[in-house]
Structure 1
Amino acid sequence: MESLIRQSTKVCPFVNKISQSASAASALRGSANISALAKRCPVMGTAVGSARHFATAGGNAATAAKVSSEQAHDAGLQSGLVGEHATQESTFDYDGVFENDIAKKRLDKSYRYFNNINRLANQFPLAHRDVEDDKVTVWCSNDYLALSKNQEVIDVMKKTLDKYGAGAGGTRNIAGHNRHSMKLEAELAALHKKEGALVFSSCYVANDAVISLLGQKLKNLVIFSDELNHASMIVGIKHANTTKHIFRHNDLAHLEELLKMYPKSTPKLIAFESVYSMAGSVSDIDKICDLAEKYGALTFLDEVHAVGLYGPHGAGVAEHCDFELHRRSGIATPIDPQTKKEIRTTMGRVDMITGTLGKSFGTVGGYVAASKNLIDWFRSFAPGFIFTTCLPPAVMAGASEAIRYQRTHLNLRQDQQKHTNYVKDGLKELGIPVIPNPSHIVPVLIGNADLAKKASDMLMEKHKIYVQAINFPTVARGTERLRITPTPGHTNDLSDILLNAMEDVFNELQLPRIADWERQGGFLGVGDKNFVAEPNLWTKEQLMLSDTELNPNIRDPVIENLDVSSGIMKF
C-alpha cells in the first residue's frame, strides 16, 4: 500500500495534493475510506457514482465496471492523464473502400456519367452542352409541361425575387413563414380538394418525413409497399422502423393476402404510386382504396409523375378516375344534385397524396395534401419539415402560378399525350421495343447496361439528341432502358427526327427488337403474345375537349389561406 501511495503521488495531482498532509496519506491506507475520497477526485468522482448506480439498479458488476472505466477514461482524456494507446496502429483505409466501391460500379456498367445539359428557356426543347454553340434536343426531361420556361411563371418569379430577395431566411419555424408558402399550400389543397397541404424542400423529403413519422408515432403500424415504389418511399419505410411487407407490383391479390394476416384493429398503411416513372405502369387506385377500407388501412399515394398530366385540372390519376365529375364541378368538390351531398370521389378516398413542384410545375419542392388534422400533425412533428429551410419566396410564387396556369390549360395535357402516342406508334412501326404502359412514359427496352450507355452516347454525339440511359439501381439489372418523355413542345417534326435516329442506333449497335424478344418468349410485356395491354388513361373523347369546356370557376379563383399553414389557434 505504501508503495502504491508513493507511486500515485507522482502521477496523480489529486493524490499528490492530499498526501501532502500526514492525516490524508493515512486516510488513503484504509480501504473503507478510498471510495469516499475517490468521490472528491475530479477524474474518479463521476465514475464511482455511476458505478454504484448501475451495480445497485441492475446488480451487474461487469456493466458497472465497464461504465466507470469508460467515464474515467473520458474524464482522463479531458485532464490529460490518459495516454493515446492506438498511436502505433495504421489508419483505416478510407480511400481504399471508396475506390473499391467505385471500381465495382464501373465493372458492372452501373457507374453514372452526368451530361452537361443547359436547357434554353427561349429555345425549348433545345439545350447547349459545354459550348453554347453545341446544341442538342432534350427528350428525357421531367419538365413534362415545359412550365419552367413559361413566361407568366418566370415573370412572377422575377417580381417576387426583386421584392423579397433570394432566400426565405431559414426554417418556417424560425424565419421562413410567409405569404408565399401560405398561398402555395392553399393552391395545392384546392388542386387535390383536400383540407390542407404542407410544402417540403422536395418530394423525396416529403415522402421520407411523412412515412417515417407515421411509423414512429403509430404504435405497431404495419406498412404495405409496392415493390416498385420510389427510393424516397423505401427510405421512409426504413426510417419508420416498423413491420413492413412488400407486395408484387400492382398485384392486388398479393396485397390482400398480406393484409389478411393482421386484425382490422392493427394500424396499417398502404404506400403506392399512381404512375411508376421508369415503367410507366399505373396503379388501380380505387381497388387499393377498397382494400384499405376493408382491412382498416390508411392510403399513401405518390402522384409525383402524374400531377399536371392527368385529370381535367392536373391533379393526377386520382382526379382522372372521375374525370367528368371534376371537369363539371371545376375547383369545387362534386355535389350530387339530387341529395345535395358531397360525392365521394377516388381523390377524396385517398388519405394522403404527395407530389412534386419540380416536374410538371416547373420549379422545385414537394408537398403532401391531406385532412386538416393530418397536415397539422405533420407540421407539428415531422423533423423533415420542422428543421428544413423554407423554399425561396420566388420559387413558391412561381409554383403557385404554374399550378394556376396549368389548371386552365387542358390543351397542355392533351398535347403531351398526343405527342407521346405519336412516338410510341412510330417506335412500334420500326419494331423498336417499348415496355407497354397506359401512361406518358416511353421506356425503350435495351436489357444491357453497356449497350444502353452506348445507345445514349450515340444519340448524343451523332444525332444531337439527349436521352439518358437508365440502369441499376434505378431499374433492375437486365432491364436497362432509354426513357423518353415527350412534352407539348415535342412536335411531330421533332419526333420524326428522333425516330430516324433511334432506327440508326438500333441498326448500328444491333440492339434487340420486338421480334428478338418474342423469340425469347417475351420480356416485361415486350414480345409477349399473352400480354394484354391496358388502354391509355386518356380516352379519345377526353383528348377532344377544349379549354372552354372546363368549368369557368377555375379561372382566377379566390383561394383563401389555410389556418393549418400557420397553426390552428385555440381559444
Structure 2
Amino acid sequence: MSKVMESIARQSVKTCPFMQRAVSLRGLKRLHNSNLPAVARQCPIVGHAMTRAYATATGTPREAPAASTKAGRNANEIVANHATQESTFDFDGLFEREIDKKRVDKSYRFFNNINRLAKEFPRAHRELEDDKVTVWCSNDYLALSKNQQVVDVMKKTLDSYGAGAGGTRNIAGHNRHALKLEAEIAALHKKEGALVFSSCYVANDAVLSLLGQKVKDLVIFSDELNHASMIMGIKHAQTTKHIFRHNDYAQLEELLQMYPKSTPKLIAFESVYSMAGSVADIDKICSLAEKYGALTFLDEVHAVGLYGPHGAGVAEHHDFESHRIAGIETVPGGSTVMDRVDMITGTLGKSFGTVGGYVAASQKLIDWLRSYAPGFIFTTSLPPSVMAGAAEAIRFQRSHLELRQLQQLHTGYVKRGMKELGIPVIPNPSHIVPVLVGNPDLAKQASDLLMDKHKIYVQAINFPTVSRGTERLRITPTPGHTDDLSDILLDAVDDVFKELQLPRVKDWESQGGILGVGEPGFVEQSNLWTEEQLSLTNEHLNPNVRDPILDQLEVSSGIKV
C-alpha cells in the first residue's frame, strides 16, 4: 500500500463509522492483500454507489458479480436497500395514461347494464326492472338460452350434481355430461372426436399455440380479419406466420407457393366474420390446402346453429342437400366440404345459448390435444349443468330447421328496410347487419340515442374490434325479432341518422365508397340461404336427426391400447 493510500485510509478510519467498525488501525495493511472492492461494497454509501455505477454501465439493474474470494461471497449477501433510497414505479400513473389514450381516441368502452328477460325475449331491463329495452345486438342468435327444454335440463342437472365440476378432468375426472356433449359435437360436425374447453377463445388459443410449438417448422397462414383468439394463438405458436388479405385466395396461394409441399403448413380462417358478416369460401381454401399440403383450421363460432340443415355451420351448408338427406349419418363417399376441413372450432355461448368452446377433428388429433394442450389440461371443466344444457341445445336445434329460417327471414326484412331508407349497411351474404357510421364518437352517440330515446339496445363497435374509420352499429335479428319489432327498429335508426346527421349511402358514394357501401361497381354476394332452402320444413329432415342415440367417444376418456 502506498504512503498516500495509507494516509487516506488512516483518515477514513478516524472519521468513517463504517471503517471504524470494519477495519482497525492495525488491520489497514491487511487490506492490501484482501479484496478491497468486496469490503467497499459492504459500506452503505460506497456500496450503493458502486451498485448504481455497475447497473448503469451494464444496462441491467442487478448487483455486481460476486467476487471469487471468501470476502466476496460474504459481500454478495449484502443487497442495496433501494426501498428507502428510490421512489416506487408509478403504476397508477401508467394505468391512468393508458386509459386517457382510449378516452381521447374515443375507443374507451362503456358497458350497459342489460338484464335479458327469459319470459319476455327479446326484452331486457336496465338497472331498474321497469326500465325495459329491446335487445337487437345479442349473439344468442336462436334464443336457446331461454329455451324451456334447455333450461329444464340444466335445472334438473343442477339439482342432481351441484354447481361446479370439482376441478380439471385430470384432477376431478369427467362425467356423463362431458361425454354426452362431446359426442353431440362430434356428431354435429361428423368428425371422429371432439374436445370441450371453457370458451372458444381458450380453444383457439390452445389448439393453434400447441400446433406451432409441437410441429417443427410449421408455417401458419392467417386471414387478416381473424378473431383475436386466433391471433393470440398464432402469436403463442412462436412460429413463422403469414397474414393474407381478407378472403384473398390469390394472395394466399402466392404465399403457399413460397414453401415446399413437405413443409408443414396450416391455414387458419373463419366461416362468418362477425363484424362485417363476410363469408369465407371454404371449398376453395380446402382445395388450396390439399394442393400445397396444409392443414385447415376453421372457426365456425358465428355460424354454428345458423347454417346447414342441422346447424353445423357454413361447411355443412356448402353441401346442404347431401347432409339433409343423410341426416346424422356421414354422407357416402366422404367428399363433402365439412369432411375436407381438418379441424373445426365452435362456441356453446352463442347459438347454443350456454357457455364454452370446442374443437372437432379426427380421433388422433383430438387425443393429441387432450394429452398436450395446457389450455385444456389445466383449466377447470365446465359445470355439469352447463354441459347438459349445451348438449340439449345442440339436439334441439338440429331437428328445428325453422329456427334458422326465421332468423334468416327477419335478417332479410331488416336489411331490405335499411336499404329503402338509405341507411348504409355493409353488404354481406350472412345474418349480420353492420350499420356503418365511420366515426367512434358518433357511433357511441347513436347507440346512446337509440337506448335513451327509443328504448333499443344496439352496441357501438369501435377500434380495435374494427378498423378506425369503419365504426358501426352491429344488429343481429333472431327468431323472436318479428316484423313489427323490425319496423320500430327501422323508424328509430332513421330518426337517429337524421338527428345526428350521419352519412347515408349517397354520402358514402360521393366519397368513393368504403367496404362495399357506395363503391362503384361493387357486386353483392347472394345470401347463403336460397329461397328453396328457406321453403323447407322440419318434415323434410331425415327422421334420424330426432333424438338419435349416440355412442360415447372413446377419445374423451383416453384411448386404451
Band the TM-score falls in, shorter-chain normalisation: 0.7 to 0.9
1:108 to 83, 105, 110: 105
Matched, 1:310 2:307: yes
Matched, 1:533 2:524: yes
Q: 1:70-109 maps to which residues of 2 (within 5 A)?
A: 81-85=78-82, 87-109=84-106
Per the alignment, residue 249 of structure 2 pairs with 252
Shift of 1:522: 1.1
Per the alignment, residue 517 of structure 1 pairs with 508
Distance 1:87 1:320, change over 3 A: same
1:216 aligned counterpart, secondary structure: helix
> Counterparts of 1:138 and 1:75 in 2: how far apart (Å)?
69
Deviations 1:228-253 (A, max 9, x none): 00000000000001110000000000
Per the alignment, residue 462 of structure 1 pairs with 453
Shift of 1:223: 0.5
Shift of 1:521: 1.2
Matched, 1:216 2:213: yes
Q: 1:108-507 maps to which residues of 2 (within 5 A)?
A: 108-335=105-332, 342-507=333-498
Shift of 1:191: 0.2
1:124 aligned counterpart, secondary structure: coil
> Counterparts of 1:207 and 1:154 in 2: how far apart (Å)?
28
Per the alignment, residue 48 of structure 1 pairs with none
- Does the 8 A contact of 1:157 with 1:395 survive in 2? yes
2:380 aligned counterpart, secondary structure: coil
> Counterparts of 2:74 and 2:191 in 1: how far apart (Å)?
59
> Counterparts of 1:370 and 1:563 in 2: how far apart (Å)?
14
2:352 aligned counterpart, secondary structure: coil
1:237 aligned counterpart, secondary structure: helix
Shift of 1:84: 1.6
- Does the 8 A contact of 2:66 with 2:72 survive in 1? no
Deviations 1:70-122 (A, max 9, x none): 9x99997997x434245311111111111001011001100000000000000
- Does the 8 A contact of 1:187 with 1:403 survive in 2? yes
1:423 aligned counterpart, secondary structure: helix
> Counterparts of 1:109 and 1:530 in 2: how far apart (Å)?
33
2:84 aligned counterpart, secondary structure: coil
Percent identity over paired residues: 77
Distance 1:493 1:166, change over 3 A: same
- Does the 8 A contact of 2:435 with 2:475 survive in 1? yes
> Counterparts of 1:76 and 1:263 in 2: how far apart (Å)?
59
1:368 aligned counterpart, secondary structure: strand
Aligned residue type for 1:277: S
Q: 1:16-95 maps to which residues of 2 (within 5 A)?
A: 81-85=78-82, 87-95=84-92
Deviations 1:534-565 (A, max 9, x none): 00000000000000000000011000110100
> Counterparts of 2:116 and 2:289 in 1: how far apart (Å)?
43
Structure 2 segments unaligned to the other structure (5+ residues): 36-62
Structure 1 segments unaligned to the other structure (5+ residues): 16-24, 35-64, 336-341
- Does the 8 A contact of 2:221 with 2:242 survive in 1? yes
Shift of 1:180: 0.7
2:194 aligned counterpart, secondary structure: strand
> Counterparts of 1:268 and 1:532 in 2: how far apart (Å)?
33
Aligned positions, number: 514
TM-score computed with the length of structure 1 as normaliser = 0.86
- Does the 8 A contact of 1:354 with 1:368 survive in 2? yes
> Counterparts of 2:274 and 2:461 in 1: how far apart (Å)?
11
> Counterparts of 2:127 and 2:483 in 1: how far apart (Å)?
28
2:491 aligned counterpart, secondary structure: helix
> Counterparts of 2:331 and 2:111 in 1: how far apart (Å)?
46
Moved over 6 A (4+): 72-79
- Does the 8 A contact of 1:212 with 1:236 survive in 2? yes
Deviations 1:205-264 (A, max 9, x none): 000000000000001111000000000000000000111000000000000011111111
- Does the 8 A contact of 2:66 with 2:76 survive in 1? no
